[in-house]
Amino acid sequence: MPNYFEPEIECASRETLREIQSQKLAAMAKRCYENVPFYRKKFDEIGLKPEDIKSIDDLSKLPFTVKQDLRDTYPFGMVAVPRSELARVHASSGTTGKQTVVAYTRHDLDVWAHSAARSIVGTGGTKDDFVHVSYGYGLFTGGLGLHDGAEALGATVIPVSSGNTNRQVQILQDYESDILCCTPSYAMYIGETVRDKGIDPKSLKVRIGIFGAEPWTEEMRREIENALAIRAFDIYGLSEIAGPGVACECEEQAGMHVQEDFFYPEIIDPVTGEQLPDGEEGELVFTCIGKEALPLIRYRTRDIASLTHETCKCGRTLVRMTKPKGRTDDMLIIRGINVFPSQIESVLLDLGMAPNYRMIVDRQNNLDTLEVQVEMNESMFADTVRSLERVEKTIANALQSTLNIAAKITLLEPKSIERSEGKAKRVIDKRNIV
């Protein structure tokens, strides 16, 4: 018998959900118009009045929001509440190397925590479980998202954060963690460490894995499930909307239930912007109908997915989304961190170097690796090995501080990277992600 955290929502009739969504959307349109100059301008430009938005069917009248809008209004230009009402900020790295900042009120953090709590319960978690959070804590939403979700559920949190894999395994053994939360690639690595230490995974109490923040395949799911003797579930989120818990798989492992009373999803044709019906793939768009601080309207995620409104075998009526298949642009997810080639470009330009580079992404020991090859030029060249190694280190440090990711830098001779007509081939991704 499946458990629910908030069955009155999770198993509500579609009509009830529609009513809730319609009310929230109408209120949101009004709030956005009154409190966010950016939206007021957009509404006025198309002659839209907030009172034109009466039900969720009116959603398509509203304009889209894109990541660039957040950058243009960086850091807090889209925030709809006074600064003093903010309870927390998180940030994600942006394509220009400039982070986009997202803000939450106390209410928003509760919405997010409830979303994460529903997600944990959906995977079979209970308030009696020890939830081992190996996502990074900090501006990245992963760690605190699952942390707050587990607390809202009343479970016990082990805030391990990421890194130090031996200690992760030790804690799994000694503290008897029931639920492990991290990126799927890190779960693979933990699984391998368990095996290398000669530990029988069945001897570990952990039974559930909640993994997200990067794309992963069914094959990877099976490998993780075998390596740790658990069931592994996909969780979805993005900081602009909330963080992990926006959607999550239930025990059926048949798509991720979207917390659609907070985050209303649509699938659109990325070219025309037209809404697409259930089952059709397109760009995933969210409207934050349940949020105060950053009530984004029709935010384009650039993730490609499809939706189904069929009631799930678990009893939930909440719409399900497929695992995002890919991005509509060239973003890479490396160790759970969003990386755009253009970020590398801007780092090099900031260092006064020509942006002739290539990224080689691979997976070694189940962890993503990034090599950045940079073409040498006269101004970077010096006659000693030491000074060239300093150039490599300078680039590596700049990437680390901007992207929060460790990269191996390799200097190449000028013109050794193939030039292409049109869009440059900047990325060689050797990982087996479809």
- For the CA atoms of 18, 20, 26, 29, what is the dihedral angle to 10 degrees? -100
Strand partners, 376: none
Could you tell me the CA-to-CA distances from 58 to 175, 229, 308 in Å, in that order? 51, 47, 20
Sign of CA dihedral 198, 213, 370, 422: positive
- Footprint on residues 161-200 left by other proteins (CB under 8 A): none
CB of 424 to other proteins, least distance (A): 18
CB of 375 to other proteins, least distance (A): 9
**382 contacts other proteins (rule: CB under 8 A):** yes
CB of 274 to other proteins, least distance (A): 49
Strand-pair category, 208-212 with 179-182: parallel
Answer for which of 13, 170, 377, 400 binds other proteins (CB under 8 A) is: 377
* Nearest residue (CB) to other proteins, 349 versus 382: 382
Which strand (E) or helix (H) includes residue 171? helix 165-171
Quick check: 180 and 201 in contact, CB under 8 A?
no
Determine the Cα–Cα distance for residues 321 and 234; give it in Å rounded to an integer. 11
Quick check: 272 and 13 in contact, CB under 8 A?
no
The letter for the amino acid at 72 is D
* Nearest residue (CB) to other proteins, 322 versus 356: 356
**57 contacts other proteins (rule: CB under 8 A):** no
* Nearest residue (CB) to other proteins, 384 versus 432: 384
Answer for which of 381, 393, 397, 400 binds other proteins (CB under 8 A) is: 381
**414 contacts other proteins (rule: CB under 8 A):** yes
- The label of the residue with tokens 């992600």 reads 433
Written as six digits, the tokens of 229 are: 């003797």
**35 contacts other proteins (rule: CB under 8 A):** no
**369 contacts other proteins (rule: CB under 8 A):** no
Tell me the window of 156-164, 288-296, 319-327, 375-383 that interacts with other proteins (CB under 8 A). 375-383
Tell me the window of 98-106, 125-133, 143-151, 373-381 that interacts with other proteins (CB under 8 A). 373-381
Sign of CA dihedral 29, 32, 38, 41: positive
Quick check: 10 and 4 in contact, CB under 8 A?
yes
> How would you list the strands of the sheet with 156-158, edge to edge?
156-158, 130-133, 179-182, 208-212, 231-236, 247-249, 256-258, 320-321, 307-308
**383 contacts other proteins (rule: CB under 8 A):** yes
* Nearest residue (CB) to other proteins, 169 versus 391: 391
**390 contacts other proteins (rule: CB under 8 A):** no
Buried b (16+ CB within 10 A) or exposed e, 239-249: bbbbbbbbbbb
Strand-pair category, 332-334 with 247-249: unpaired
Determine the Cα–Cα distance for residues 76 and 71; give it in Å rounded to an integer. 10
CB of 434 to other proteins, least distance (A): 31
* Nearest residue (CB) to other proteins, 419 versus 423: 419
Binding to other proteins by CB under 8 A, coded x per residue (else -) over 394-413, reads ----------------xxxx
Written as six digits, the tokens of 50 are: 């907030």
Tell me the window of 32-40, 183-191, 247-255, 372-380 that interacts with other proteins (CB under 8 A). 372-380
**389 contacts other proteins (rule: CB under 8 A):** yes
CB of 143 to other proteins, least distance (A): 35
Total residues interacting with other proteins, rule: CB under 8 A = 17
CB of 392 to other proteins, least distance (A): 9
Answer for which of 416, 425, 428, 430 binds other proteins (CB under 8 A) is: 416
Answer for which of 376, 398, 399, 407 binds other proteins (CB under 8 A) is: 376
Determine the Cα–Cα distance for residues 135 and 147; give it in Å rounded to an integer. 9
Answer for which of 384, 401, 420, 432 binds other proteins (CB under 8 A) is: 384
List of residues contacting other proteins (CB under 8 A)? 376-378, 381-385, 388-389, 410-416
